Amino acid sequence: MGPNVPHRGIGFSARARAAVRGQGRPNYETSAATARYSSATSCRGLRGPIQALLVAVVLPLVLTTCGSEPEVASFEGRPVRTVVAEKREAGAPIVLSGRIEAEDEVTLAFRISGRLLENSLRLGDPIEPGQLVARLEPQNELNVLRTAQASLAAAQGHLTQARNNFERQDTLLRDGWTTRANHDQATQTLRTAQSQVEAAEAELKTAHDLVSFTELKADAPGIVTATGPRAGEVVQIGQMILKVARQGGRDAVFDVSAQVMRSVPADPEVTVILADDPSVTARGRVREVAPRADPLTRTFEVKVGLTEPPAAMRLGATVTGRVQREALATIEIPATALTKFNRQPAVWIVDPTSREVSIRNVDVLRYDPALVAISRGLDVGEIVVTAGVQALHPGQKVRLLGSSP
């Protein structure tokens, strides 16, 4: 056989050759199919638990949705506290706390400055008229007094000389032995000397006054209520040395707010009671009202003059003042019910049928810490909101606390 003749006995068919060639490289199609089969097998293994979980979660929701419709919760309204408007007697007394002071209290001070030599009085010491209460060192004033005395003596000497000269010139003029000019000069010298004497006497009086000013004396009987500088200190003109409550009347002094003053009747009679002993009482009337409020407390100082105050009401004692208001029937509501509407006092009114609220302006007769007296804007029997007024709006439904919704 030639080289070009194929060997049929030992040859391979095309399919066999392809199979032999396929054994030398991986079969990617077979691998991919195997992978898909494995993935599908794994998914079938996990599908059971996942489905069971989804059924357990979703099924109750579906059943609930498919069931009866949910009930809508009914809103009973905002809870509030209320009170029924009623007329009451607005004659409750006004009670204030105060103190006892002297009706006439003066401050003693020196008219000149200097070093304080003596001041031995204490608080509560009684003093009598003319009693020496304090004294300054008088050396400078005594020196001024001596100078004034010497000046007066010199002026009196000049006056004597000028008078003698004038008398001599007057005699000579009558006899014709001197001129009119000399006589006029003697007259002028005499008048000048007289003026100098008068000035020296005035200076001497002033020096005596300065010496007397070094002693501070009481001008009326009383009791020392305050003391100032002590001995050895340098004091100025008008500086307080002692404060003396003169014997006589007593005042009960109270700090009263403007609101209380407006509610007090004109010229009321005040009953004053001693705080530590209620059995000690006195009566009086308003004697003085401060024209200006205190800048810190915004209250007015009111002085009540006591009629025959008992001896137990000593200076500085704490007392209680009681004033009876005029008995007028007014509507009183708690102060917490008051609010503002259109920049005016207002209250919230509850409709008893619909339980809806509406706001209404009112006129306030009197303010108290706990109660407010209404003069106009409320009728007897109306329901007024006393708690929860800050969260309301007109037409809002409310639920009255303590009542059925």
The string of DSSP codes covering 28-55 is HHHHHHHHHHHHHHHHHHHHHHHHHHHH
What is the average pLDDT across 270-278? 92
60 pLDDT higher than 70: no
Cα gap 124→128, rounded to integer Å? 13
pTM (2 decimals)?
A: 0.51
59 pLDDT higher than 60: no
Q: What is the location of CATH 1.10.287 in the chain? A: 138-213
The 3-state secondary structure of 111-165 reads CCCEEEEECCCCCCCEECCCCEEEEECCHHHHHHHHHHHHHHHHHHHHHHHHHHH
CATH of domain 138-213: 1.10.287
Cα gap 356→395, rounded to integer Å? 5
CATH 2.40.30.170 fits 95-102+248-323, yes or no: yes
Beginning with the edge strand found earlier in the chain, give each strand of the sheet holding 126-127 in spatial order: 105-109, 240-246, 222-227, 126-127
Q: What is the location of CATH 2.40.30.170 in the chain? A: 95-102+248-323
Q: What is the location of CATH 2.40.50.100 in the chain? A: 106-131+222-247
Question: What does the pLDDT read at residue 78?
Answer: 83
CATH 2.60.40.1260 fits 106-131+222-247, yes or no: no
The band of 35, judged by pLDDT with boundaries at 50, 70 and 90, is very low
DSSP 228: -
Question: What does the pLDDT read at residue 92?
Answer: 66
CATH 3.30.70.890 fits 80-90+328-400, yes or no: no
Please say whether the dihedral angle defined by the alpha carbons of residues 6, 12, 13 and 19, taken in this order, is positive or negative: negative
Q: Which residue has the tokens 């691998």?
A: 31
The band of 25, judged by pLDDT with boundaries at 50, 70 and 90, is very low
